[in-house]
Amino acid sequence: MQLPAQWQVGIDRNSEVLRGHAQLLATFIAPRPASPDTATPRGQIAAIVSTTRSQPTLAARHATQTLTRINQANDRLCAITRLLPARAAADAARVQAALAGGSDGGALAGVPFVVKDLFDVAGQVTTAGAVVRAQCAPASRDAAVVQRLCDAGAVLVGTANMDEFAYGFATVNAHYGTTANPHDHRHLAGGSSGGSAAAVAAGLVPFALGSDTNGSIRVPAALCGVYGLRPTHGTLQLEGVFPFVDALDVVGPFANSVADLRRVYEVMHGHALRSCNVANLRIARLGGWFQRNLDPELDAGIGALLTACNSSTLVELPEAERARAAAFVLTAAEGGHRHRAALSTHGDQFDPATRDRLFAGLQLPASAVADAHRFAHWFGAAMQQLWDDVDVLIAPATPCVAPRIDQDTIVIDGLPVSARANLGIFTQPLGLAACPVLAAPLSRPGRLPLGVQLIAAPGREDRLFALAAQLERDGLLAFSAPPETP
**Annotation marks residue 216 as catalytic:** yes
Burial of 446 (0-12, 13-18, 19+ CB in 10 A): exposed
| Distance in angstroms (rounded) separating the CA atoms of residues 391 and 464 | 9
CA-nearest of 335, 347, 369 to 1 is: 347
Active-site option among 15, 193, 211, 216: 216
Print the SS3 string covering the chain.
CCCCHHHHHHHHHHHHHHHHHHHHHHCCCCCCCCCCCCCCCCCHHHHHHHHHHHCCCHHHHHHHHHHHHHHHHHHHHCCEEEECHHHHHHHHHHHHHHHHCCCCCCCCCCCEEEEECCECCCCCCCCCCCHHHCCCCCCCCCCHHHHHHHHCCCEEEEEECCCHHHCCCCCEECCCEECEECCEEEEECCCCCHHHHHHHHCCCCCEEEEEECCCCCHHHHHHHCCEEEECCCCCCCCCCECCCCCCCCEEEEEECCHHHHHHHHHHHHCCCCCCCCHHHCCEEEECHHHHCCCCHHHHHHHHHHHHHCCCCCEECCCCHHHHHHHHHHHHHHHHHHHCHHHHHHHHHHCCHHHHHHHHHHHCCCHHHHHHHHHHHHHHHHHHHHHCCCCCEEEEECCCCCCCECCCCEEEECCEEEEHHHHCCCCCHHHHCCCCCEEEEEECCCCCCCCEEEEEECCCCHHHHHHHHHHHHHCCCECCCCCCCCC
CA torsion angle for 74, 78, 82, 87 (degrees, to 10)? Answer: -50
Angle formed at CA 92 by CA 90 and CA 98, multiple of 5 degrees: 105
Active-site option among 192, 196, 211, 480: 192
119 forms bridges with which residues in the sheet? 241
**Annotation marks residue 192 as catalytic:** yes
**Annotation marks residue 443 as catalytic:** no
Active-site option among 15, 116, 211, 443: 116
Annotated active-site positions, please?
116, 192, 216
